[in-house]
A and B are shown apart, each in its own frame.
Chain A
């Protein structure tokens, strides 16, 4: 035997390993980009589920769709709604019919023409495609084609958020030829500023787009090439940004320090609020929570500023109201409605007859153990016992709906007033599982629904009611920390941690 068996085994393993290592090679040298083109590489926090526009989501998830798809309405960085594929839109007097005028000079990347029929096809598809935002068109009963460039949206009931939705998932327009096909799930076909480079796109790794020639709105098309690099892990995002692999990405207060050390620029926006949801306001399962004074006492027990400084390195703003600053429902007077006052908390508990014996069961939330420990401590100081329960799992939405929790600590998106109302206040809201309401509150909610343009202002009344009645114990609005390098400039987008794709420009 000339070659020992061990050596032979090693040789086989080595050659197999080398063959495998090389197998992904393919054509070498084709990846070199042309010099001097403006490229944008973004660190995306998640891969998209599908490129079908009906599967589009809000927040972080909207940005990649904006590369491929135009929306009917453009939402400016400050939240103002401007024409895009829709040139004008108008409600009837009862706010139950929205007439939308459309552009006539737009084509999709597969050559199909954008017109009223195409817009209707998209909305019909959106309504039945079971996407994550399908609720956006729940109020729309049908879409009628008036003429080649006009549609009418008929509503079962007024929806003050509808125009906003048309700048979001529900407004994204895909080619009617591609809608509903399997192909559009992996390759978008829209009228947007960029088209996918399918050959360079790898699922769970990167999506690559190139500028579409003859795009109708050159102002919104500022780069030759846009790459979304999927970086789910926070450490990976930080490393990619700091080493120059991506131009911009979303970090957090701690990794942000590292990015600042590497001279990255911060774009901070307040998108979510964190705090307690005191959900059992009728005292069905926890009688103490049925008493407004107990709920108010809980609110007075927190030193919000100190908690924010200690736990989140001061990245945010202490607040007593659940509605966001940009929503129109926000008011200055409610901002510090509940200041830190343990003595007042104790006297309120005494008045309520709950000097002792208030027990709150709060589920744990992975990643927020520190916040929960502080809450437990501060409530203990005024005589309220907190039991931190098992951590929430991915069944938690159905657990919430099933009234499993009477109180929970959570972080929630601060959307448009009607969106927020239906998320946390109305009897339809997931985060109002005990379906608490009063005729007084319902009247205020109804006013928002039918309020049209005044919805924001009318929602201030809803906000005021839930703050005074201490439906929640909000702590702070949290800063989302979006960092970018100096090769580009980035304008923050209201209510979005990750800005819209139009907000990026090459640095001058």
Chain B
């Protein structure tokens, strides 16, 4: 078990390292205009040269990469070129907002998708058909469109929720809940419909297996068969889908945060990328890759815990 975790963490570090080199070189290509973008149209060549030296842009890419890497390994991700804000503090204030949303959405997705998926698989008939149709609709409407529709109806016309975030220090938990409700709904609908579909087919597959018939023939109650045996065997499929959704959500949340003006990772990532603010982009990318690696690891561990067959392999 420990070897497994260490192995996975090791390969995760290799991925992090490879991604850092790739992203750093991609950003290097567009770094030619940085000094002018910071100083404006009318800056003189001398002023540009001073700024470039200040940012270390006059150094060769290898030197720049290694100075970034040495810093990063010591926990110093540098400072934004444009705002002079330390990257670690920029991430520290934004990660809670984004992760609150993502985790809340994931928890709700797991619960709702499981309930709907199991209901569709067990009941079949019209329940199943409604779920199927709902899934097609849910899958085909992008989250940001759902977000805009929700804002128009619930915030602008009915005034139940704020149209854009009101999160700030000193506001109570109620403001967090009110500000995050619509974005979380916008985020989770695609996940619920997609997840329910997967869980439905996994449960149907399990229900057709011989062991279910054996269990039933021994007089074990339908409820116990379903929750103790079938769901456990169907869980790996569901977990894999959920982990993919969580990773996909890290992208989707960027747009949702823009629409709801939430001070999360989204605005930071968009601003930094469009300005080629290299230290910030590197910080955002490294963080995202780390989340993906950790999520995958957790899912593998959960799968092993739920299903001994997976553990063996």
**CB–CB A206/B168 < 8 A:** yes
B103 touches A5 (CB 8 A): no
Contact yes or no, A235 B148, CB < 8 A:
yes
- Inter-chain contacts of B252 with A (CB < 8 A): none
B38 touches A203 (CB 8 A): no
Question: When the two chains form their complex, are residues B176 and A21 in contact, meaning their CB atoms are under 8 A apart?
Answer: yes
Of A128-136, A342-350, A371-379, the one contacting chain B is A128-136
Pair A236/B260 contact, Cβ less than 8 Å = yes
Alpha-carbon distance A201/B165, docked complex (angstroms): 14
Interface centre among A13, A16, A26, A397 (most CB of B within 10 A): A397
Segment at the B interface, from A64-72, A99-107, A226-234, A273-281: A226-234
B162 touches A4 (CB 8 A): no
Number of residues of chain A lying within 8 A (CB) of chain B: 69
Q: Given A28-B173, A132-B40, A204-B267, A236 and B84 touching (CB < 8 A)?
A: no
> Closest B-chain residue to A16, C-beta based?
B103
Rounded to whole angstroms, the CA-CA distance of A431 and B36 in the bound complex is 13
Provide the residues of chain A in CB contact with B165, threshold 8 Å: 205
Stretch at the interface among A240-248, A382-390, A444-452: A240-248
Distance between A271 CB and nearest chain B CB, rounded to angstroms: 15
Chain A residues 199 to 224 lying within 8 A of chain B, measured CB to CB, are 199-206, 208
Task: Say yes or no: A28 contacts B174, CB within 8 Å.
Answer: yes
Asked if A397 contacts B100 (CB within 8 A), the reply is: no
* Majority secondary structure of chain B interface residues (helix, strand, loop or mixed): helix
**Chain B residues, Cβ within 8 Å of A47:** 83, 271
Asked if B44 contacts A231 (CB within 8 A), the reply is no
Residues of chain A contacted by B170 (CB below 8 angstroms): 26-27, 30-31, 199-200
Report the Cα distance A78→B305, complex, angstroms. 72
With an 8 A cutoff between CB atoms, is B201 at the interface? no
B20 contacts partner chain A, Cβ-Cβ < 8 Å: no
Q: How far is the CA of A26 from the CA of B168 in the complex (A)?
A: 10
Task: For residue B96, give the distance in angstroms from its CB to the closest CB of chain A.
Answer: 7
State A133–B260 Cα separation when bound (angstroms).
Answer: 32
A132 to B271, CA, bound (A): 17
A428–B41 Cα gap in the complex (Å)? 10
Max chain A CB contacts within 10 Å: which of B104, B107, B167, B259?
A: B107
CA distance A327 to B94 in the complex (A): 43
Alpha-carbon distance between A239 and B147 when the two chains are bound, in angstroms: 12
Contact of B104 with A20 in the complex, beta carbons under 8 Å: yes
8 Å CB interface, B137-182 against A: 148, 151-152, 155-156, 159, 162-177, 180
Q: Does B72 contact A (CB under 8 A)?
A: no
Asked if A243 meets B96 with Cβ closer than 8 Å, knowing A6-B235, A17-B104, the reply is: no
Mask: chain A, 113-141; 1 = CB below 8 Å from B; 0 = not? 00000000000000000111111001000
Whether the pair A5, B43 counts as a contact (CB closer than 8 A) is no
When A23-B96, A134-B43 are in contact, do A232 and B155 touch as well, CB less than 8 Å?
Answer: no
A29 within 8 A of B: yes
- Determine if A34 is an interface residue (Cβ-Cβ < 8 Å): no
Interface size class of B (residues with CB under 8 A): 35 or more
- Type the 1/0 row for B95-114, where 1 means its CB is closer than 8 Å to any CB of A: 01101100110110011001
Do B41 and A204 touch (CB < 8 A)? no
Q: Which of A185, A239, A398 is in CB contact (< 8 Å) with B164? A: A239
Q: Distance in Å from the Cβ of A490 to the closest Cβ of chain B? A: 21
Complex-state Cα separation, A428 to B270, whole angstroms: 32
CA gap between A196 and B141 in the complex, in Å: 42
If A21-B104, A23-B96, A26-B171 touch, whether A236 touches B305 (CB-CB below 8 Å) is no
Q: When chains A and B are docked, how far (Å) is the Cα of A245 from the Cα of B275? A: 29
B99 neighbours in A (Cβ, 8 Å): 20
Q: Give A202 to B84 CA distance when docked, in angstroms.
A: 16
Q: Contacts A4-B228, A135-B43, A203-B263; is A29 near B172 (CB within 8 Å)? A: yes
B306 interface hit (Cβ, 8 Å): yes
Partner of A13, one of B110, B162, B276: B110
Which residue of the partner chain, among B82, B83, B163, B168, contacts A205 with CB atoms under 8 Å? B168
Per-residue CB contact flags for chain A residues 1-37 toward chain B (1 = under 8 Å, else 0) read 0001111011001101100111111111111000000
Asked if A130 contacts B50 (CB within 8 A), the reply is yes
* B19 partner residues in chain A, CB cutoff 8 A: none
CA distance A428 to B45 in the complex (A): 10
Contacts of B152 in A (CB 8 A): 239
CA distance A407 to B41 in the complex (A): 18
Closest to A131 in B: B39
Given contacts A6-B235, A232-B271, contact A130 B47 (CB under 8 A): yes
A401 to B42, CA, bound (A): 12
Q: Is A393 interfacial (CB-CB < 8 Å)?
A: yes
Closest chain B residue to A242, Cβ basis: B156
CB–CB A49/B84 < 8 A: yes
Q: CA of A229 to CA of B165 in the docked complex: distance in angstroms?
A: 10
CB–CB A231/B42 < 8 A = no
A465 at the interface (CB under 8 A from B): no
Q: Smallest distance from the beta carbon of B156 to chain A beta carbons, Å?
A: 5
Query: Any chain B CB within 8 A of the CB of A94?
Result: no
Asked whether A50 is an interface residue with its Cβ less than 8 Å from the other chain, the reply is yes
Interface of A with B (CB < 8 Å)?
4-7, 9-10, 13-14, 16-17, 20-31, 47, 49-50, 57, 130-135, 138, 185-186, 199-206, 208, 229-233, 235-236, 239-240, 242-243, 245, 393-399, 401, 422-423, 428, 430-431
**7 closest Cβ pairs, A-B complex:** A28-B172, A135-B42, A25-B173, A205-B263, A239-B163, A243-B163, A17-B107
A-B contact pairs, 14 of them (CB 8 A): A17-B103, A20-B96, A24-B96, A25-B173, A49-B84, A130-B39, A130-B50, A135-B47, A203-B93, A394-B274, A394-B275, A397-B36, A399-B33, A430-B36
Using A24-B176, A202-B168, A428-B44 as known contacts, list a sample of 9 further A-B pairs with CB atoms less than 8 Å apart, ordered by residue number in A: A25-B172, A50-B84, A186-B85, A203-B93, A232-B261, A236-B164, A239-B163, A245-B162, A394-B37
